[in-house]
């Protein structure tokens, strides 16, 4: 088997966003494009020689081709063992689990998460470090710097490997081990939750629907929910992973999980509904005629954590991304534990988790997780909800009413304006940034501005600093508006606008969230001049 060094030249724009490098499939299909970025990773990661590397992805179009390319390059770069999910598949949280269990130097995860798939869709790649979490900014900055000067990459000349048969083969001097992508993850879940209590819940006649959205969690949910926990066959819908996600958008929200929402808000609705996204790290939680916002989900799980075996000793601390509502802050205050506010991006939770400062965290973009891995974890969140419901003997609606009655209700919403021309998005943010210093003490829409700033974060563990992480406008009544450009899109810019309104204990808790938030949403659009800058009169997605 021949190892070869291939000349190359840099591509513009190989800068990882909040979750790796994401581009249209057609961009990744260009000769040398994937190779350049993979070699940039290998050139910057220490300790590769003889090490174990985990490789897998969400099964979207181009996944199998990319896995074969990365395997050949790994062999040429001195990796000792490559651990690959069967079929090239590993959910993102399962990849984190395997990295940690195997003591790997890290893992290459192939996914564009909740972005559309198929030949005309998106593709993505990211590196997770030895702790199982997304590479920190210091590493991704190094990858980008290397990609701008790269002149060659290394590979071996070899035929494609069989990725569908469990077992071990050799590729040059590297062992390639194809593993069951579900087994290690399912075993980890069984160690965290009261599986007997959840089995009893299903045996009592409790009904749920889990929508895998034709994405990676189908096999995981079928194995755990139906086979191990006894949920009836058919509990998992859209459970077969497809390269194009069945032509749908694999984003678990009210706009894209239409079939699930119809069932939970329709006649003879089940007790519980949930969905996960393309790579399995996001979740949406529903009860009968109830949508649980991700911010509320994090708060409810924090308040009920001790009902779950993994947290029976209590929580060390919690963390949330800055745009996530402050509902969990109130729970943390009541529990007497720390609550950290971080930038958006799961990597910012990693140092806090590794240092033992927190063991539960979440972000408003349908992500929740804990210290069992270093990624957000959609199916884990579903199992934690099931464990809490089994322990408490309450419906989702009853649990939410109890929570709001104890802590007050934070109405929360997000508007996404997608594929905005980058220049227009940058101009909007620059203009709004210029307004912030003069807003404190002024009246906007009948509310007095308490503070307005641009969020910056200094990591309390490693001292690293991240600037320009979102614009915040807070009001004296506890309401808040946040503006942020997302780093997960592949076309133009996505403007995310978040708003929250707090109703204290004894306040008005029964409103529909869009009705409660409309004045803030209107104010947010007016303050930023969204229509003037973008021509948009309404968001593409409202959640």
Do the Cβ atoms of 118 and 31 come closer than 8 Å?
no
pLDDT for the residue numbered 1: 73
At residue 288, the 3 state secondary structure works out as: coil
Burial of residue 503, with CB atoms counted within 10 A of its CB: 0-12 exposed, 13-18 middle, 19 or more buried: middle
Q: Write out pLDDT tens, residues 95-149.
A: 999 999 999 999 999 999 888 999 999 999 999 999 999 999 899 999 999 999 9
Does residue 270 surpass a pLDDT of 70?
Answer: yes
pLDDT for the residue numbered 539: 95
Read off the pLDDT band of 488 (50, 70, 90): low
Does residue 543 surpass a pLDDT of 90?
Answer: no
236-237 and 338-342 as β-strands: parallel, antiparallel, unpaired? unpaired
Strands of 208-211's sheet in order across: 236-237, 208-211, 272-276, 283-287, 290-292
The token pair at 346 is 């799961």
| The 3-state secondary structure of 8-62, one letter per residue | CCCCCCCCCECCEEEEEHHHHCCCCHHHHHHHHHHHHCCCCCCCEEEEEECCCCC
317-321 and 338-342 as β-strands: parallel, antiparallel, unpaired? parallel
Q: Which residue's entry shows tokens 């390269």?
A: 243
Facing residues of 280 across strands?
Answer: none
Read off the pLDDT band of 489 (50, 70, 90): low
| The 3-state secondary structure of 219-265, one letter per residue | HHHHHHHHHHCCCCCCCEECCCCCCCHHHCCCCCCCCCCHHHHHHHC
* Cα(47)–Cα(183) distance, integer angstroms: 27
Average pLDDT of the residues in 416-420: 93
pLDDT for the residue numbered 455: 98
Average pLDDT of the residues in 447-459: 97
Average pLDDT, rounded, for the chain? 96
pLDDT for the residue numbered 61: 97
% pLDDT > 90, the chain: 94
* Cα(90)–Cα(280) distance, integer angstroms: 9
Query: Which phi-psi region, left, alpha or beta, contains residue 205 (left: φ > 0; alpha: ψ -120 to 50)?
Result: left
Facing residues of 500 across strands?
Answer: 412, 480
pLDDT for the residue numbered 32: 98
Q: Write out pLDDT tens, residues 30-42.
A: 999 999 999 999 9
Non-local CB neighbours of 120 within 8 Å, separated by 6+ positions: 24, 25, 26
At residue 446, the 3 state secondary structure works out as: coil
Non-local CB neighbours of 36 within 8 Å, separated by 6+ positions: 8, 10, 11, 14, 147, 150, 153
pLDDT for the residue numbered 486: 82
Q: Write out pLDDT tens, residues 334-388.
A: 999 999 999 998 989 999 999 999 999 999 989 999 999 999 999 999 999 999 9
Average pLDDT of the residues in 206-210: 98
Average pLDDT of the residues in 169-186: 97
Q: How many CB atoms lie within 10 A of CB 334?
A: 12
| The 3-state secondary structure of 147-168, one letter per residue | HCCCCEEEEEECCCCCCCCCEE
Q: Which residues are catalytic?
A: 113
Read off the pLDDT band of 490 (50, 70, 90): low
Non-local CB neighbours of 467 within 8 Å, separated by 6+ positions: 454, 456
Read off the pLDDT band of 255 (50, 70, 90): confident
Does residue 467 surpass a pLDDT of 70?
Answer: yes
User: pTM above 0.85?
Assistant: yes
Q: Write out pLDDT tens, residues 527-541.
A: 999 999 999 999 998
Task: State the distance between the two ends of the chain, measured CA to CA, in whole angstroms.
Answer: 53
Query: Rounded to the nearest 5 degrees, what angle is found at the Cα of 367, between the Cα atoms of 419 and 268?
Result: 95
């Amino acid at each position: 088997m021949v190892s070869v060094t291939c000349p190359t030249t840099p591509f513009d724009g190989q800068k990882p966003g909040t979750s790796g490098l994401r581009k249209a499939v057609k961009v990744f299909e260009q000769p040398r494009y994937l190779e350049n970025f993979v070699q940039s990773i290998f050139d910057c990661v220490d300790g590769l020689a003889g090490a174990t590397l985990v490789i897998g992805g969400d099964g979207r179009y181009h996944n199998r081709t990319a896995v074969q390319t990365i395997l050949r390059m790994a062999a040429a770069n001195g990796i000792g063992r490559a651990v690959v999910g069967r079929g090239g598949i590993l959910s993102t949280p399962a990849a984190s689990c395997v990295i940690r269990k195997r003591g790997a130097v890290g893992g290459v995860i192939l996914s564009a998460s909740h972005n559309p798939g198929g030949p005309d869709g998106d593709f993505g790649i990211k590196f997770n470090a030895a702790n199982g979490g997304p590479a920190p900014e210091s590493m991704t900055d190094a990858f980008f710097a290397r990609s701008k000067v790269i002149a060659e990459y290394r590979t071996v000349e070899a035929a494609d490997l069989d990725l569908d048969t469990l077992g071990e083969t050799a590729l040059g001097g590297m062992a390639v081990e194809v593993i069951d992508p579900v087994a290690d993850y399912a075993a980890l879940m069984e160690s965290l939750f009261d599986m007997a209590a959840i089995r009893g819940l299903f045996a009592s006649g409790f009904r749920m629907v889990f929508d895998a959205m034709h994405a990676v969690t189908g096999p995981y949910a079928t194995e755990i929910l139906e086979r191990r926990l006894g949920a009836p066959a058919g509990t998992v819908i859209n459970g077969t992973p497809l390269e194009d996600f069945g032509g749908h958008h694999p984003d678990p929200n009210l706009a894209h999980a239409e079939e699930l929402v119809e069932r939970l808000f329709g006649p003879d609705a089940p007790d519980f509904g949930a969905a996960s996204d393309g790579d399995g790290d996001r979740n949406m939680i529903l009860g009968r005629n109830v949508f649980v916002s991700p911010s509320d989900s994090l708060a409810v799980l924090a308040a009920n954590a001790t009902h779950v075996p993994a947290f029976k000793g209590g929580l060390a601390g919690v963390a949330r991304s800055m745009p996530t509502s402050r509902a969990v802050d109130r729970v943390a205050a009541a529990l007497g534990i720390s609550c950290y506010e971080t930038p958006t991006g799961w990597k910012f939770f990693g140092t806090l988790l590794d240092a033992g400062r927190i063991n539960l965290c979440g972000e408003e973009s349908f992500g929740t997780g804990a210290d069992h891995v270093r990624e957000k974890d959609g199916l884990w969140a579903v199992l934690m909800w099931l464990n809490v419901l089994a322990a408490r003997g309450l419906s989702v609606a009853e649990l939410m009413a109890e929570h709001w009655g104890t802590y007050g209700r934070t109405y929360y919403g997000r508007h996404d304006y997608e594929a905005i021309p980058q220049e227009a998005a940058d101009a909007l943010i620059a203009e709004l940034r210029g307004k912030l210093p003069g807003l404190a003490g002024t009246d906007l829409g009948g509310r007095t501005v308490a503070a307005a700033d641009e969020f910056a974060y200094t990591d309390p563990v490693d001292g690293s600093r991240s600037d320009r992480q979102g614009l915040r406008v807070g009001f004296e009544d506890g309401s808040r508006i946040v503006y942020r450009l997302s780093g997960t899109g592949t076309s133009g810019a996505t403007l995310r606008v978040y708003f929250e309104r707090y109703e204290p204990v004894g306040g008005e808790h029964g409103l529909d969230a869009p009705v409660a938030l409309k004045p803030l949403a209107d104010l947010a659009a007016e303050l930023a001049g969204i229509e003037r800058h973008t021509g948009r009169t309404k968001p593409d997605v409202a959640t």
